[in-house]
């Protein structure tokens, strides 16, 4: 199965079972748009549920922990793909660095209707990618390049708290922020250089 197909199936599906039923598999929740009342506040959990044909439109969300990967070579041609190219930032001592890692997040199930109603389908490109890129760049800018390895855990914890605060009203919960590699790079060509931090993040 292509990466795009995996993303569509596992992350967000436009329409659940048509007709009279909503079929919600384990690890997922469904929200319903009522043509008269708008997006309903109720969230449907796993199981088979009744709906009104045509009048109700259901949306299926993955409620499991998902990984947003920041790595070299990530394909950004699909705007809603769960990831990004390495974040390029400047340290406090004016070193240009390349940052790779992962952000583990999940849907706030109780508030899933808010996500659908206020942000819509494109919340990776609208919220997760720009917000995380901005906060990562800002946080690493507070440290000298030689301090990053020492303060890795502090940076990860701070970013988790900051992103959770930003996403609080967007029905997204950050489970963890993990950095796998941070390198000082040559600013002109952004070629790999000295590694400050190179680890395999724990799940």
For residues 25-51, one letter each, b for 16 or more C-beta atoms within 10 angstroms of the residue's C-beta and e for the rest, the string is eeebbbbbbeeeeebeeebbeeeebeb
Range 66-198: architecture per CATH: 2-Layer Sandwich (3.30)
- The Cα 78–Cα 99 span in angstroms is 21
> What is the residue extent of each domain of the chain?
3-62, 66-198
pLDDT of residue 10: 43
What is the CB neighbour count within 10 angstroms for residue 176? 18
pLDDT at 18: 54
What's the pLDDT at 1?
Answer: 45
| Pairing assessment for the beta strands 38-39 and 28-34 based on DSSP bridges | antiparallel
Please name which of 130, 111, 91 lies closest in space to residue 173, comparing C-alpha atoms.
Answer: 111
Contacts of 62 (CB under 8 A, 6+ apart): 10, 11, 12, 27, 28, 107
Q: Are 185 and 93 in contact (CB under 8 A)?
A: no
CA dist 65 and 11 (Å) reads 10
> Phi first, then psi: what are they for 63, rounded to 5°?
-100, 10
In this prediction the pTM is: 0.83
DSSP string, 83-117: EESPEEEE-TTS-EEEEEEEEEEEE-GGGHHHHHH
Residue 122, pLDDT score:
85
| pLDDT values of the chain reduced to their tens digit, one per residue, 203 residues | 445 444 434 444 445 555 788 888 999 999 999 999 999 999 999 999 998 988 998 888 889 999 999 999 999 998 889 999 999 999 999 999 999 999 999 999 999 999 989 888 788 999 999 999 999 999 999 999 999 999 999 999 999 999 999 999 999 999 999 999 999 986 544 455 667 666 554 44
């Amino acid at each position: 199965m292509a990466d795009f197909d995996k993303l569509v199936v596992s992350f967000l599906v436009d329409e659940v079972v048509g007709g009279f039923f909503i079929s919600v598999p384990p690890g997922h929740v469904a929200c319903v748009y009522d043509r008269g009342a708008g997006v309903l506040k109720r969230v449907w959990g796993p199981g088979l549920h009744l709906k009104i044909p045509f009048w109700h439109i259901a949306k299926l969300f993955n409620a499991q922990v998902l990984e947003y990967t920041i790595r070299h070579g990530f394909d950004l041609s699909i705007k809603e793909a769960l990831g990004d190219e390495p974040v390029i930032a400047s340290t406090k001592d004016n070193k240009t660095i390349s940052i790779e890692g992962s952000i583990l997040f999940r849907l706030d199930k109780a508030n899933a209707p808010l996500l659908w109603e206020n942000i819509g389908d494109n919340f990776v490109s609208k919220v997760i990618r720009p917000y995380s890129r901005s906060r990562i760049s800002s946080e690493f800018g507070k440290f000298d390049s030689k301090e990053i390895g020492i303060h890795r855990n502090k940076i990860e914890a701070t970013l988790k708290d900051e992103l959770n605060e930003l996403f609080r009203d967007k029905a997204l919960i950050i489970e963890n922020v993990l950095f796998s590699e941070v390198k000082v790079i040559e600013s002109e060509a952004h070629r790999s250089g000295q590694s400050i931090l190179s680890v395999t993040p724990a799940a």
